Amino acid sequence: MAIALGKNRCVSCEKDKATLRCGGCLQEYCFNHSLDHRQELNKQLDDVEVTRHLFRQTLIQQAAEPEKHVLIQQINEWERDSITKIRQTAEEAKQTLLKHTVGHIKQIEVDLNKLTDQLRQSREDNDFYETDLRYWNEELKRLARELAKPSNINLRQETTSFINKIYIGITERKCISYT
């Protein structure tokens, strides 16, 4: 607080007295109120020091446990949400496939029964040639392929993403000097 003596009005008691001008707020205070003003400034400094101390504790905790940083928590939440979306989509795809696979297997079974009947009848009648054997072998291979990978069912993956990507943007921090 700078000292400038003169008769001015005190901002606190509003009386014309010898005053001191505060170098910070530039207000005029009588001697008694300049001490009060100084005490208030000291109290505000105490508050700043308490805030600084609490911030220091937070900084120490962050340094000791960086995985608890709020941005890490946001990434973890994004990860959980993305995994949930993937699981839901996979479950829906599985249910759709299972529903259609049952019908597909029944159709293969019908075709296999027809082939079985043809084989049985040909054996009973002892009426078959090499061409019949090739046809039946090819038909069995076709049914095996159909069972393994149905021709009427295919899996596709779209190139458009239904999960939002997460990016980390980092800009250079400018040094700020407090003097």
What's the pLDDT tens digit per position in 19-47?
999 999 999 999 999 999 999 999 999 99
Whether residue 163 has pLDDT greater than 90:
no
79 lies in a domain? no
Confidence of residue 72 (pLDDT cuts 50, 70, 90): very high
Show the domain range for 142.
88-148
**Shared-domain flag, residues 60 and 97:** no
Confidence of residue 153 (pLDDT cuts 50, 70, 90): confident
92 lies in a domain? yes
Asked whether 86 and 78 are in contact (CB, 8 A), the reply is no
On whether the pTM is more than 0.75, the answer is: no
**Shared-domain flag, residues 95 and 136:** yes
Asked whether 127 and 118 are in contact (CB, 8 A), the reply is no
2 lies in a domain? no
> Helix axis angle, 70-125 relative to 130-148, nearest 10°?
160
pLDDT of 156: 81
18 lies in a domain? yes
75 lies in a domain? no
pLDDT of 179: 40
**Shared-domain flag, residues 140 and 92:** yes
Whole-number Å distance between alpha carbons of 112 and 139: 9
**Shared-domain flag, residues 92 and 143:** yes
pLDDT in tens, 117-139: 999 999 999 999 999 999 999 99
pLDDT of 79: 94
Whole-number Å distance between alpha carbons of 130 and 85: 55
Type and span of the H or E element at 21: strand 16-21
User: Which two tokens mark 65?
Assistant: 């446990």
158 lies in a domain? no
Asked whether 115 and 133 are in contact (CB, 8 A), the reply is no
User: Which two tokens mark 41?
Assistant: 């400034």
121 lies in a domain? yes
Mean pLDDT of all residues in the chain?
Answer: 89
**Shared-domain flag, residues 98 and 144:** yes
User: Which two tokens mark 170?
Assistant: 């980092």
131 lies in a domain? yes
**Shared-domain flag, residues 51 and 100:** no
Q: What is the DSSP letter of 67?
A: G
Total domains in the chain come to: 2
Type and span of the H or E element at 18: strand 16-21
Higher per-residue pLDDT: 174 or 157: 157
**Shared-domain flag, residues 58 and 100:** no
Residue with tokens 């220091």: 56
pLDDT of 2: 54
Confidence of residue 173 (pLDDT cuts 50, 70, 90): low
- Between the alpha carbon of residue 143 and those of residues 94, 96, 116, 123, 148, the distances in Å are 22, 22, 12, 21, 9
